[in-house]
Amino acid sequence: MNLALQRVSVRVTLLILAFSFSIRLAANKNPDDANSTVISPSPQPSDDKPTPAWDQKAAAAYLDRRETWWMSWPRAQRDHNTFCVSCHTAVPYALSRAALRSALAEVGPSPGELRLLDSVTKRVRLWKEVAPFYTDADRGLYKSVESRGTESVLNALILASRDASTGRLSDDAHTAFANMWAEQQAAGDRQGAWFWLRFKNEPWEADDSHYYGAALAAIAVGVAPDDYRSSPAIQANLKALRQYLNREAAAQTLANRVVLLWASAKLPGLLSPDRQKFIITELLQKQQPDGGWSLSSLSGDWQRSDGTLQEGKSDGYATGLVTFALQQVGIGPDDRQLQRGFHWLAVNQDRIEGSWAAYSLNRNKENHISPETALFMNDAATSYAVLSLTHARGTSSSKGAAASKP
């Protein structure tokens, strides 16, 4: 009798385990694709616990300090009292700093924003007079044309993003776009893209970074007000850009395609629903057990130039950028995996510095020029963390306001 009872007990236990597994598997199915399974690793925050608070004032102070340092760094200085617009510090700052304005009760751009915009505007207006960021003479073959292509896209993105808040595309932004289209490649394998700075530095200055730059150009067009993307004069350029981004998408690292996903949210019809869904699924599958994402896991087999091992742990740049891009394509802040990403961001802010940590794909911090240059990845990480968390907060507030209406 005891043996029979033991057998029954074992069978019941096995049935319970099988039932629990089937429920978990069903819960992890991607509702947009019946054939895909998205794994939600443990541990996870409880559903009834909101994302912890994060310090917006400290984040703004960090971003302002770093942009001020960059604008004053001798190596960033350029002619006509301007400075280089960097992909790691200046561009993310321009995109993110305004997102903190309402939370800090600011009535206008910060001093750092104003100085950055003044420099960009001056270079746009003096485009034929200012020297390239880098020249063939001082940095090697093709650096002049690479500098022009890179800067033209970044200037257009910064000014279009600024003008998006006013609803009117400024004359300076129109000029920036004209400069950008004039630099677009009209033939060859990269037709539709731009020459881009290559210094063997991923993810922004490597041999594949022209794709990243083309995706940023698409974002610039998409965010520009006054329905700029419908302007008859740019349709041939825009068609070439769309074709290039789709033609080369499959060959890109996931680090590049997450920016493409962001671009697809700003430029309707850029990607087919199936391709967009595929990128989303890939990104969700890369989420780490702690809820964050690691840039090295999105960057293929890229090796550091200093011979040190890549960091495998979650970082602020990858987590901020991925969660921001996923929100841009319509995944709501109440999504289970996004909530885990927000939770990671909120608990991993440096409460003293106000920043988020990230890791260079090219060298460890001991092999940087200085302790200040070792913070470049933190600069980008903090900006994208801010963009993600403020967007999530704004979406949640909007839903709450809508739900409270009769």
218-240 pLDDT per residue, tens: 999 999 999 999 999 999 999 99
- Residue 25 CA, chain-centre distance (Å), reads 30
Look up the CATH number of the domain holding residue 111: 1.50.10.20
108: in domain: yes
In a domain, 11, yes or no: no
Residue 62 scores a pLDDT above 50 = yes
What's the domain range around 198?
A: 32-396
* Mean pLDDT calculated for residue range 181-189: 97
Q: How many Å apart are CA 368 and CA 273, to the nearest integer? A: 42
Share the mean pLDDT of the chain: 88
338: CB partners within 8 A, 6+ apart: 323, 326, 327, 331, 332, 392
Position 72 pLDDT exceeds 70: yes
Q: What's residue 338's pLDDT?
A: 97
Q: Does some domain include residue 189?
A: yes
The pLDDT, as a whole number, for residue 49 is: 64
Number of domains in the chain: 1
The answer to whether residue 40 sits within a structural domain is: yes
pLDDT at 87 > cutoff 80: yes
For residue 103, the model assigns a pLDDT of 84
Is the pLDDT reported for residue 175 higher than 50? yes
CB 88 within 8 A of CB 377: yes
Residue 131 lies in a domain: yes
Burial profile 334-371: b = 16 or more Cβ within 10 angstroms, e = fewer: eeebbbbbbbbbbebbbeebbbbbbbbbbbbeeebeee
Is a pLDDT exceeding 90 seen at residue 393?
Answer: no
> What's the pLDDT tens digit per position in 16-29?
444 443 433 333 43
Flag whether pLDDT at 249 surpasses 70.
Answer: yes
Q: What is the pLDDT of residue 301?
A: 94
Q: Give residue 1's pLDDT.
A: 43
Question: Would you place residue 399 in the very low, low, confident or very high pLDDT band (cuts 50, 70, 90)?
Answer: low
Pick 3 or 146 by higher pLDDT.
146
pLDDT score recorded for residue 26:
39
Q: What is the pLDDT of residues 324-361, one digit of tens each?
A: 999 999 999 899 999 999 999 999 999 999 999 999 99
Tokens 């306001």 correspond to what residue?
401
Residue 22 inside a domain? The answer is no
Is residue 62 in some structural domain?
yes
Any domain includes 379: yes
What is the C-alpha separation between 332 and 338, in angstroms, rounded?
A: 8
At residue 13, the pLDDT reads 44
Whole-angstrom distance, CA of residue 214 vs CA of residue 149 = 10
Give the per-residue pLDDT at 134: 97
CA distance 294 to 162: 30
pLDDT for residue 46 is more than 50? no
The confidence score (pLDDT) of residue 33 equals: 37
Give the residue among 146, 152, 158 at the shortest CA–CA distance from 179. Answer: 152
Q: Is the pLDDT of residue 401 over 70?
A: no
